Amino acid sequence: MFAARTRTLSVARQNPLWGPSRNPRLLVAVPISVVAALFFNELEVFNRVFLTGRIPVEFFFLPIPFALALLAAEELRKMLVRRRPHGLAARMAW
């Protein structure tokens, strides 16, 4: 969510609290989505309604390396676009 907010600005330079890319709702949305995932996973009522089972806690952490790899790839693309705004990476992405 933070990586896709701008075309060239790095995640480190995007401040959701002030500045041109201000959006404090993002900081509220992240914990709400985590709580919702845990809420629907842990309550037996939802497991019966959706015919699902409980997900073990260790499986919640499996996507983290993939998410970090995607973030690194997006930051690399943004760096290439900043260095060469009319280069191949800029044309492929936009």
Cα separation, 34 vs 65, in Å, equals 17
User: Which residue shows structure tokens 């693309």?
Assistant: 77
> Hunting for tokens 């201000």 — which residue is that?
22
Q: What is the predicted pLDDT for the residue at 32?
A: 95
**Chain Cα centroid distance, residue 65:** 12
Give the model's pLDDT for residue 6: 78
Residue 72 has a pLDDT of 92
User: CA 45, CA 28: separation in Å to the nearest integer?
Assistant: 26
pLDDT in tens, 16-44: 778 777 888 888 998 999 899 888 888 88
What's the pTM value of the predicted model, to 2 decimals? 0.70
24 neighbors 14 (Cβ within 8 angstroms): no
